[in-house]
Amino acid sequence: MALREINLVPADILHKKYMTRHILLWAFCLTLCLCLIVGYYQYQTRVVLPQKRPVTTLEDMHIQLGATVEEIKATQQEIQRLNLQESFLKKLSKVPPFSGMLLGLSKIMNAQTWLTKLSINAGTEEKTAVPGIEMHGYSLSNEDLGNFLTQLSLASLFQNVELKYANETLIASSSQDRKAQTKVIQFQIDCKIPGSVPESASQQGDGRLR
């Protein structure tokens, strides 16, 4: 004779307990997953992101904007300076070399005429747009000065030769005997150099050319 176990608990009560256990288990698993997700989200928003994205205030933005504006102004000024230099070099290259002018001037001058001051002006916007030369010096006679003026007018290196003034004066005949004086013609001659340079560049030289 076999013995058989008989469960006297109703089946619906057993099924209810079984379902309750499974529901609690799955609820615990879901709650654990939600806690992990929320914890990870809080960690990212409160720890990781603030380190990667620094907090910027309105004052900091104004400071950064001011620094950026200053950099832009400095860059614009540097660009303008470079443009002026480039324009100056391009236009200055159109003027004949000053060394060639001095060589031509030395060939034109006669032995009775010499210069004490020579100013070469490449032209400025404030004064004149045409480069020119100012010559100050002496000549032993009006004839010698007239010959020098004629040679300047005929030379292709100079244009618009103009005698500003010519006055008689006395100068020492030699450095050793300062009492001995010679009558000479003191003059100033202005002339233009072929070409046009709107930028400024001047060279001045003092001396005597014979």
- At 116-141, the pLDDT tens digits run 998 877 655 444 456 788 999 999 99
Structure tokens at 179: 């009492």
Domain of residue 142: give its range: 98-206
Please count the residues of the chain: 210
User: Does 193 map to a domain?
Assistant: yes
Complete DSSP assignment for the chain? --------S-HHHHHHHHHHHHHHHHHHHHHHHHHHHHHHHHHIIIIIHHHHS----HHHHHHHHHHHHHHHHHHHHHHHHHHHHHHHHHHHTTSPPHHHHHHHHHHH--TTEEEEEEEEE---SSS-SS-EEEEEEEESSHHHHHHHHHHHHH-TT-EEEEEEEEEEEEEES-SS-SS-EEEEEEEEEEEE-SS---S--EEEEE----
User: Does 48 map to a domain?
Assistant: no
User: Does 144 map to a domain?
Assistant: yes
User: Does 80 map to a domain?
Assistant: no
Q: Which long-range contacts (CB under 8 A, 24 or more apart) does 37-43 make?
A: none
Asked whether the beta carbons of 128 and 190 are under 8 A apart, the reply is: no
User: Does 106 map to a domain?
Assistant: yes
User: Does 39 map to a domain?
Assistant: no
User: Does 89 map to a domain?
Assistant: no
Structure tokens at 14: 């057993």
Asked whether the beta carbons of 124 and 85 are under 8 A apart, the reply is: no
**What's the pLDDT score for residue 67?**
87
**What's the pLDDT score for residue 186?**
93
How many angstroms separate the CA atoms of 46 and 44, rounded? 6
**What mean pLDDT value characterizes the chain?**
78
How many other C-beta atoms can be found within 10 angstroms of the C-beta atom of residue 205? 12
210 residues of the chain, pLDDT tens digit each? 566 666 666 778 878 888 898 899 999 999 999 999 998 888 888 877 777 665 566 777 888 888 889 999 999 999 998 888 877 676 656 555 677 778 888 888 888 899 999 887 765 544 445 678 899 999 999 999 999 999 998 988 888 899 999 999 888 776 666 677 888 999 999 998 775 434 333 344 444 444
CATH classification of the domain holding 136: 3.30.70
Total domains in the fold of the chain: 1
Structure tokens at 135: 């010559």
User: Does 22 map to a domain?
Assistant: no
User: How many Å from the N-terminal Cα to the C-terminal Cα in the chain?
Assistant: 157
